[in-house]
Amino acid sequence: MADVAIIVPTLRRPESLERALRSLFQQTGVADRVSGIVVVDNDPVGSARALTDALSPSSPWPLIYQHAPTPGVATARNAGLSATAAPLIAFLDDDEAAEPAWLAALLKAQEETGADAVFGPITGRAPDAEPWLKDWLERFFGRDGPERTGLIAEPYGCGNSLMLRSTALPGAAPFNVAADEAGGEDDALFAALAARGGRFGWAADARVEEFAPAHRATLKYALARAFAYGQGPSQTAAAAKDWPGVGRWMLIGAAQTVVWGAAAAVLTLMARSSRAGMYDRTARGLGKVFWMRGFEPHFYGARELARLDAA
Of 293, 126, 306, residue with least CA distance to 222: 126
CB of 151 within 8 A of CB of 199?
yes
CATH superfamily ID and name for 4-211? Spore Coat Polysaccharide Biosynthesis Protein SpsA; Chain A (3.90.550.10)
Predicted pLDDT at 51 = 98
Contacts of 131 (CB under 8 A, 6+ apart): none
* Mean pLDDT in order along the chain per 10 residues (311 residues): 96 96 98 97 96 98 97 95 98 97 98 98 96 96 97 95 97 92 85 95 98 93 94 90 97 98 97 96 98 86 77 71
State the Cα–Cα distance between residues 145 and 157, nearest whole angstrom. 12
Within 10 A of 62 (CB to CB), how many other CB atoms are there?
A: 14
Predicted pLDDT at 200 = 98
pTM for this one? Answer: 0.92
Predicted pLDDT at 306 = 79
Predicted pLDDT at 300 = 76
Predicted pLDDT at 297 = 86
Helix or strand holding residue 122 (H, E):
strand 122-125
Instruction: Tell me, rounded to whole angstroms, the distance of Cα 150 from its chain centroid.
Output: 20
Contacts of 290 (CB under 8 A, 6+ apart): 227, 231
DSSP 3-state assignment of 253? helix
Of 93, 272, 246, residue with least CA distance to 183: 93
Predicted pLDDT at 302 = 73
Contacts of 120 (CB under 8 A, 6+ apart): 102, 105, 106, 109, 145, 160, 161, 202, 203, 204, 205, 206, 207, 208
Predicted pLDDT at 299 = 79
Predicted pLDDT at 308 = 75
Instruction: Tell me, rounded to whole angstroms, the distance of Cα 131 from its chain centroid.
Output: 25
State the Cα–Cα distance between residues 240 and 217, nearest whole angstrom. 34
Predicted pLDDT at 271 = 94
Of 206, 189, 242, 221, residue with least CA distance to 299: 221
Give residue 166's identity as a one-letter amino acid code: S
Predicted pLDDT at 240 = 87
Q: Give me the residue spans of the domains in the chain.
A: 4-211, 219-310
Helix or strand holding residue 226 (H, E):
helix 219-239
DSSP 3-state assignment of 284? helix
